[in-house]
Amino acid sequence: MRFHIPTKIIFGSGMITQLKEIIDNEFGTSRLFLVTDKGIRDAGIADRICSQFHKIAVFDGVEQNPKHHTVDKGGEIARKINPDLIIGLGGGSALDAAKAIALLVKNRGKIEDYEGKKKYGIPPLPVLAIPTTCGTGSEVTWVSVITHARRKFKMSIKGPEMFPAVAFVDPDLLSTLPSSLVASTGMDALTHAVEAYSVKPANPITDLFAREAVRLILFSLEQAYKDIRQNKEAREKLMMGSMLAGIAFGNSDVGAVHCLAEAMGSLFDIPHGLANSVFLPYIMEFNLPVSVQKYGELARISGIQDRNSRSASLKFIQKIKDISKDLNIPCFKDLGIGENHFAEIAQKSFENNSNPSNPRAMAVKDYENILKRTLAGE
């Protein structure tokens, strides 16, 4: 059993106004490098950070499913500035890019040179991670997922020093998040929790975090979707659930849902949370023969009163489908990906490092069958 969470967590609504004071107290740094995306800058969120400092360098070139050449560019800029601290601001893409750039500041070469576990020689710079969506969990994990554009493959760069030094979680940053992103990132967080609870590496400690994450997410997601700006309680519970799910899967793992989502993201640039939302119930149906007890437990946590674990599990899977529909999550067929791509998606999913963690063994053919079932909406 393994459990490790060195990240200091600072959680609270409205805490963003205290960021400079916290950085001064925690790090005492003078050279800051902010990694974010243009959407965050356009929304004015980056300005709320920059205005607190006399001088701060900003790299806002991070795109959805961050590409290896983008991270390399950010790393080159950061090396010239030689910062003391990297601040990641945004969704999972920005936070993963920040962790990767922090590695490149201290190590030579390109980010693809560090694919795998602890391939770096010098620990990365410290990272302060500020999530602005309710699904990433990257603020408390030791992994940076970067898409290699030429290979059309999502690389995992990981190591114990890749954990952010501080996770700065302010639920109020969700206030301006569009409802579609509340839906997809919230379902992403639910996927993290469900998979962390059911995969082979799960352990009693990760189970504690996963169960609480499922409870918080299921009892807040739809309320947050309806009125994220005014519903403070829903924002806080959803953000807490997302973070706890990150702690869970960061010490357990994810499974076949993520294998498919990462394959789709690398090949077609599909948003990660959306892909997870689409595939979650179908993978759960596949895993049911070996996960019936755990799914039954999650069903009862969600409020389903059924002592029979199999029937409770089926009701839980249907509940997830119903929630996705209520949140207006697109169907797989709406993504415009034809069956002619299924063989390649299935192969990449099978090759994913998390495939062996799935509770039920998945072969390439199994992934193809899941894709067909999801497309048909069965």
Q: List the one residue out of 212, 211, 193, 366 whose CA is nearest residue 283.
A: 366
Mean pLDDT across the stretch 122-133? 97
Q: What residues form DSSP beta bridges with 148?
A: 153
In tens, the pLDDT along 245-274 reads 999 999 999 999 999 999 999 999 999 999
Instruction: Tell which of 130, 148, 174 closes a domain.
Output: 174
* CATH value at residue 366: 1.20.1090.10
284-328 per-position pLDDT tens digit: 999 999 999 999 999 999 999 999 999 999 999 999 999 999 999
pLDDT tens for 34-45 read 999 999 999 999
Q: What angle do CA 79, 36, 189 make, to 5 degrees?
A: 125
- Give the single-character DSSP code of 91: S
CA-to-CA dists, residue 172 to 96, 224, 327, angstroms: 21, 12, 21
Q: Is 378 a residue whose pLDDT tops 70? A: no
- pLDDT of 317-342, one tens digit each? 999 999 999 999 999 999 999 999 99
Tell me, yes or no, whether 231 and 124 share the same domain.
no
State phi, psi for 35 to the nearest 5 degrees.
-110, 125
**pLDDT for 30:** 79
Q: How far apart are CA 319 and CA 339, in angstroms?
A: 27
- Are both 259 and 342 inside the same structural domain? yes
Query: How many helices and strands, by DSSP H and E, does the chain display?
Result: 14, 9
> In the chain, what is the straight-line distance between the N-terminal and C-terminal CA atoms, in Å?
37
Beta bridge partners of 167: 9, 129
Residues 6+ apart with CB under 8 A from 82: 31, 105
CA distance 268 to 285: 25
The pLDDT mean for the chain works out to: 96
Q: Are residues 97 and 154 in the same domain?
A: yes
- The strand pairing partners of 88, in sequence order, are 35, 129
Amino acid at 251: N
Residue 144 pLDDT? 97
226-246 per-position pLDDT tens digit: 999 999 999 999 999 999 999
Residues 233 and 148 in one domain: no
Report the pLDDT value the prediction gives residue 364, as an integer from 0 to 100.
98
Q: Are residues 159 and 233 in the same domain?
A: no
| Strand, coil or helix: 350 | helix
Question: Do 153 and 233 fall into the same domain?
Answer: no
Least confident range of 74-78, 149-153, 206-210 = 149-153
Q: Is residue 1 part of a domain?
A: no
Mean pLDDT in residue range 142-151: 96
> What is the domain extent for residue 164?
8-174
CA pair distance 165, 139, nearest whole angstrom: 9
Q: Which of 152, 174, 196 is the endpoint of a domain?
A: 174
Strands 143-148 and 153-158: antiparallel
Residue 173 tokens, joined: 């940053």
User: Are residues 255 and 163 part of one domain?
Assistant: no
Strands (E), the chain: 8-11, 32-35, 57-59, 85-90, 116-117, 127-131, 143-148, 153-158, 166-169
Same domain as 169, residue 183: no
Query: Does 202 share its domain with 261?
Result: yes
Does 105 lie in the same domain as 233? no
- Which tokens hold the place of 130? 């500020």
Longest dimension (CA), the chain: 61
164 and 270 in a single domain? The answer is: no
98: tokens are 């920040």
**Residue ending a domain, choose from 136, 154, 174:** 174
